[in-house]
Structure 1
Amino acid sequence: MQSFIQYRRIGLQVRSQFQRDQEKAKVDSSQRHRVAQDLAHGDSAALASSSCTSSADEDDKESERTDNLTIFRTQHSLRTTLAHSLIGIHARERTTNEGEGGKVFVVDWEGDNDPSNPRNWSIAYRMLTTLIITCIALVVGAAASADTAILPQAATDFGVSDMVESMAIGLFLAGVGIGAVFAGPFSETFGRNAVYIATMMLFMIFIMASALASNIGAQLIFRFLAGAFGATPLTCAGGSFSDMWAGLEKTIFFPIFAIGGFAGPALGPVIASYVVNLGSWRWAEWIILIISALVLSIVVLFLPETFPPLLMAWKARHLRHETGDDRYRAESEITQTSLWSRLKISLTRPLVLALEPIVLCMTIYLSVLFIVLFTFLDGYPHVFQRVYGISQGLTSVIFTALYVGIMSAGFLVPWVYKITKESFVNDSFVPEVRLWFAMLGAPAIPVGLFWMAWTDYASISIWSPIMASVLLGYGVSCIFMTSYMYIIDSYEQYAASALTFFTFTRYMAAGGMTVVGVPFYENLGTHWTLTILGCINVLMTPIPYVFYKYGHKIRHRSKNAVSW
């Protein structure tokens, strides 16, 4: 609905611009018309003086051809002059790889303050759009983690072990990793909105199917497919943010998405732990389906299209309709790339960027953090329920401690914004300034893991591991925000490919380790499991500090990263 209104609004804007600028085009074309007539009469006179022996019929035919040529030139010049008069239209010849057709009128924004440009929308409107996209990420994250709260009940119902049932979580995460590879190319072909809506609908269908599954095999397949179609916001959200927010603005508004999006994994078990009392573990899936339907309704009614090439294609279509001239084209329409070509790039370029030190190290770091975060879905019953004897529902509620820590990272935003603003020179800045979030949060992760590992005793207050959870949530949020913004600013035009590898790797790793997490906690116990995870994170902690000092040199040697 909102996209349709947006399309009509662009049409009205084009019509207004056309009416405003065509007077100038008429003046210019009338001058060209007079010149054309003078040339035509001059050519006819010259032709008559040099052809005294020509017959009268031949003179009439030549004059008719000259008049027709004059009329054709005048009409063609009028349309060409109009194109030159319209603001934001750039006339040029087609290049060799763009095929035949001569001149083309490339449609662009109507100046720096074009109201159709998502970056010129009001802050309130962009903020609303950001919150809607965040809601999509929230419901997908909740679907990923909700099954942990009903894992014993589902395992009993299907007659399988807890480890087998935990595959429902692991395969969902693996599906997100697979879906991330395809989400980007589809959004660049059909636009952000179409992909958000279509994949949300398919996501809901497979969530419903998993709620109705009659055996463990069906549930696992449907959960995997739900994850694959739920990958869209996690991949396309970065593109949507780049469409709307400039570099400095991302410092304030990307944390809103990150903090809001993390609410899903943290609050999913809380929701599921209480709805299971309705009589069946399947209510966890039904509640996710109901929330998804509500979010989808908001998306359809209120989410605008933000993809600039698609908006330019809409504008070009309106211009072709208004002028009757087929030469008005958006840049994406001139050099059309097939979906298959985009998919090949999406499948191959991330493998090239995987060798980049920045992409590789940040991917490993965030993958480790996601392993910690999602193995907690299996581990919290061991950390709290078995040690302190609390109920399954209350154990799930303790997940909110993680989210309290995630939200606390928001207090760093004003200070980091100030540092980022001071680093701006000529509308650009060094990407390493994005590492401040990570440098302020990285030590919190191993400290929180060791703290939880060695205070998880019945003789020690339960508030000790709960506070450790808060510290862990704070650290994870800081690293997540830094990783995304640093990669986007370091690779710019290749950021989508870098983020594809980034998303695919961390979700595949987290999905695999979620299944392994159950026997890990069973055989090693909470103390040593958390200690091992803490030791691994100690090795990861120096990464943001190393890149802060040497990142500019690494980028300078890279063929794909920006080097200012």
Structure 2
Amino acid sequence: MLMQDSNGKVYYQVGWAGPDDPLNPKKWSTIHRVGATMLVCLVAFVATIASSIDSAVLTSATAELGVSEVAESLATALFLVGMGLGALLLSPLSELLGRYLVYLVSLFIFGCWILGAALAPNFGAQLVFRFLAGFSASAPLTVAGGTVGDMWDPVEKTFALPLYAIPAFGGPVFGPVIGAYVGYDPSVDWRWAEWITLILVGATFILILLLKKESFAPRILHYKAACFRKLTGNERFLTAAEASHASLGELMSKSFLRPFFLSTQPIVVAFTLYLTIVYIILFTFLDGYPFIFAETYGINEGLSNICFMGLFIGIMLSAILVPLAYRRTLQQLKSDGDDGSGKLVHRESRLFFAMVGAPALPIGLFWMGWTDYNSISIWSPLAASVLVGFSNICIFMSAYMYIIDSYEAYAASALTFNALTRYIAAGGMTVVGIPMYRSLETHWTLTLLGCLGVLTVPIPYVLYRYGPSLRRRSQWAV
């Protein structure tokens, strides 16, 4: 198709060869797309495991490095801060380089920094390498959500995004479970938490290298246009992205500034606040579980980290809602006369998960806080943690799906602001967690967190009622 570029020059625009072009990731076979999504899930799972695994070796690390537990908690905190800052600065890379190259380069660099943390000669070096590792880990995490969107249409995203969200949110919970077998085995050095992470990152890198294909449509079309230029010798075969002549500097500037423009959007602010509180609760548990379980019930800290399986089970239980949400979406599209494209999906239907899970958060926290006595079975706070895990992942899934559907072309910027805020806040609270649990004790700390949960419960219901009018008044939303 003949078009004019931003400089007024005529070019042949390279696009898909019809609606069923096999190069289009949305037209890949279902098995291929599921396999690619599972690889993305693995990337998210490994990157987020690294964020929390160090918390399980806190005691042994402090003994070797000669620092306090609060100081050593900075190893987790700075990793999270690095993830937040990295999301802001590295998010445009996939627009220029494609998903595949960003996965490979960022995972390789991520592994190098983890290696540095494993070999760190002192406390300061450990903190620097952990921060750089978090910064690098943010790139594959940022790209992972976009990769899922590359391959699935609006209806299919009802199950595809939860499939990604469960391991992405489950990783921070599973990290301490793995680390529990390192930190409290006298024959195993605490640095094995980093070595295990490095092994996981290396295995993931190899799988991505061998099995992952490029899924970013503009990059695929870039390769297609390059082939046309080479075969014909005609340099006028260009993609729409190439014809815009956007430079890396322009992309970086846009990526850096736009998240802050979107920070005034009520929908973005609401879910950023919500997920920030969810992440504060999740990552202060890294400090709090030794108080909640080890001190109260007399178990060792290794077993208290195994108790994170309660949260993990709750996260996995959210999968039972996915078929129900998918069926509701299909029924809504059928009643609205959708043509099969999924364009008529109600954005507010994405709030279903949060509307189910929101009340469970304060209930679970109050339940855990006020049954955490040695005279009451340990299974009571464990059961409460299942409820907290279920609630957290439901809120996370709705936040991502609703923001992506509401802001479409600007969703990456909205999610970047969200990630920046929640990771930096969670990192800060990780350091505060130990003094908070010591000063307030478990009952009142969990009560305080539960009260924060109560304040945020109305958010999905308010957005369900007023979301359409908020989107209509926004220059960014659809």
Q: TM-score, normalised by structure 1?
A: 0.82
CA distance in 2 between counterparts of 1:326 and 1:347 reads 32
User: How much does 1:331 deviate?
Assistant: 1.1
Corresponding residue for residue 132 of structure 2: 225
Residue 518 (str. 1) matches residue 462 (str. 2): no
Q: Deviation at 1:184?
A: 1.7
| Separation of aligned partners in 2, 1:466 and 1:558 | 43
| Contact preservation (8 Å) 2:57, 2:182 | no
Shift of 1:257: 0.8
Q: Look up the match of 2:460.
A: 544
Q: Residue 252 in 1 paired to residue 159 in 2?
A: yes
Matched, 1:444 2:360: yes
Shift of 1:252: 0.9
Q: 1:158 corresponds to which letter in structure 2? A: L
- SS of the equivalent of 2:2 reads strand
State the distance in 2 between where 1:189 and 1:374 align.
33
Offset at residue 182 of structure 1 (A): 2.2
> Could you say which residue in structure 1 is the equivalent of 2:13?
106
The reply to whether residue 467 of structure 1 matches residue 374 of structure 2 is: no
CA contact (8 A) 1:420 1:434 kept: no
Separation in structure 1 between the aligned mates of residue 328 and residue 81 of structure 2, nearest angstrom: 37
Instruction: Select the residue among 98, 113, 119 that pairs with 1:206.
Output: 113
Q: Name the counterpart of 2:234.
A: 325
Q: What is the distance in 2 between the residues matched to 1:346 and 1:325?
A: 33
Tell me by how many angstroms 1:267 deviates: 1.4
1:482 aligns with 2:391: no
Distance 2:146 2:176 in 1: 29
Q: Deviations over 1:102-133 (max 9, x none)?
A: x2100000000000000000111111111111
* Alpha-carbon distance in 2 for matches of 1:553, 1:333: 36
CA distance in 2, matches of 1:313, 1:283: 43
Q: Deviations over 1:9-52 (max 9, x none)?
A: xxxxxxxxxxxxxxxxxxxxxxxxxxxxxxxxxxxxxxxxxxxx
Write the letter of the residue equivalent to 2:382: I
Q: Does 1:402 align with 2:311?
A: yes
Point out which structure has higher relative CO (alpha carbons under 8 A, 6+ apart): 2
1:364 corresponds to which residue?
A: 273
Residues in 2 aligned to 1:264 and 1:440: alpha-carbon distance in whole angstroms = 22
Conservation of the 8 A alpha-carbon contact between 1:258 and 1:477: yes
Alignment of 1:122-201 (within 5 A): 122-201=29-108
Q: Which residue of 1 aligns with 2:2?
A: 91
RMSD: 1.0
Higher Cα Rg: structure 1 or 2? 1
**Percent identity (aligned):** 49
Q: How many residue pairs align between the two structures?
A: 469
State the alpha-carbon separation in 2 of the partners of residues 351 and 422 from structure 1. Answer: 37
Amino acid at match of 1:91: L
3-state SS, counterpart of residue 354 of structure 1:
helix
Match of 2:291 among 363, 367, 382: 382
Query: How far, CA to CA, are the matches of 2:167 and 2:242 in structure 1?
Result: 36
- What amino acid does structure 1 have at the position aligned with 2:112? I
State yes or no: 1:558 paired with 2:465: no
Paired with 2:344 and 2:411, the residues of 1 have a C-alpha distance of: 17
Provide the residue aligned with 2:282 in structure 1. Answer: 373
Q: Could you tell me how far apart the structure 2 residues matched to 1:349 and 1:261 are?
A: 25
1:183/1:236 contact within 8 Å kept:
no
Q: What residue number does 1:433 align with?
A: 349
Give per-residue Cα distances to partners, 1:251-309, cap 9 Å, x unaligned.
01111111122231111111111134242100111011011100110011011111111
Task: Quote how far apart the aligned CAs of 1:311 are.
Answer: 0.5
**In structure 2, which of residues 373, 395, 400 is the aligned counterpart of residue 457 of structure 1?**
373
CA contact (8 A) 2:102 2:139 kept: yes
Say if 1:387 and 1:457, in contact at 8 Å, map to a contact too: yes
Alpha-carbon displacement from aligned partner over 1:380-403 (angstroms, at most 9, x marks no partner): 000000000111221111111101
Task: Give the structure 2 partner of residue 280 of structure 1.
Answer: 189
- Is 1:530 aligned to 2:446, yes or no? yes
Counterpart position of 1:304: 213
Separation in 1, partners of 2:17, 2:29 = 17
Q: Deviations over 1:116-152 (max 9, x none)?
A: 0000001111111111111111111111111111001
1:240 aligns with 2:147: yes
